[in-house]
Amino acid sequence: MDKIEKLEQRWFKYKAKKVGSSTFIFLLFPLFIAGGYFIGVHFDKLEDMLFNKKIASNHIESKVVPIIKQEEKNITILTPSPLSTIALNVGKKEELSLEPIIPIIDMEREKAKSYKPVVTHHKKSVSKGVRAKPNTYLTAKELSKVKSNSRDTTHLKKIHLYSSSKNYIEMMQEKFSKSKQPREALLLAKEFYRKGAYKKSEGWALRANKIDSNLDESWIIFAQSKAKMDKKTEAIKILLAYYDKTKSAKVKRAIEKIKSGKI
């Protein structure tokens, strides 16, 4: 008799444990879903938060801040505001513009593409019955302008899309003066950067940024130009300020490059 009573008590305990654990699971389930959703949505931000901490602990606190304090008044920083030169204030959070970013030409990619002769492209597209995609950057007219001296069409076909000729810069400057598009300004910034004219590339990046302050590329070229002119700390500071607002992976990579001395 006593045995059964004890057994019943054990059963009550077992039942309480079972109900407790199933209730816990029941309550935990929506939390898991919500957590999963949150991580899914804010994954980039979380990743960036961790990254930020790393950067802050490695550089800003130890090296950058004291130097910045000295140069604070002189630092030129690109901001989304129309004024391009403002005092640096890292802690201040500015509103982000949700305007779409204008597609930027990846010069490196263009360079790679340019090794392939145009003729081959044409042949391929014909054989496959696919229409060749028109050049988004330079029209046929523009191309002929670039090589106006040459009348040989076969040579024209071999022209690389990416050109380092003076004509290209002139043409782009002309184009920019007409269109006032940040794309042209940025292309010029890149071209000057590639040529090693960092002061000019900085200037053109600034122009592009004035028109559209949300262009990652303009910030990156600007900072990279600074870095090339031995202003690494300033460059990192600028990019960090921008990164703080946008959490752009591209910017993050640029910061890393500058930090590691690759630029």
- Residues 65-124 close enough to bind another protein by CB under 8 A: none
7 binds another protein (CB under 8 A): yes
Closer residue to another protein, CB minimum distance, 4 or 31: 4
Query: Could you tell me the sign of the dihedral formed by the alpha carbons of 59, 63, 64, 69, in that order?
Result: positive
Among 1, 31, 83, 130, the residue binding another protein under the rule CB under 8 A is: 1
2 binds another protein (CB under 8 A): no
Q: Quote the tokens at residue 54.
A: 């790393």
199 binds another protein (CB under 8 A): no
Residue 29 Cβ vs another protein, minimum distance, rounded to whole Å: 24
Cα–Cα distance between 133 and 124 in angstroms, integer?
A: 12
Using alpha carbons, select from 256, 232, 196, 207 the residue that is nearest to residue 78: 207
132 Cβ partners below 8 Å, 6+ apart?
Answer: 121, 122, 125
The rounded Cα 31 to chain-centroid distance in angstroms is: 34
DSSP 179-196: H--HHHHHHHHHHHHHHT
19 binds another protein (CB under 8 A): no
Among 8, 61, 108, 230, the residue binding another protein under the rule CB under 8 A is: 8
158 binds another protein (CB under 8 A): no
Cα–Cα distance between 136 and 108 in angstroms, integer?
A: 16
Stretch that binds another protein, among 8-16, 77-85, 98-106, 196-204 (CB under 8 A): 8-16
13 binds another protein (CB under 8 A): yes
- Number of residues located near another protein, criterion CB under 8 A: 9
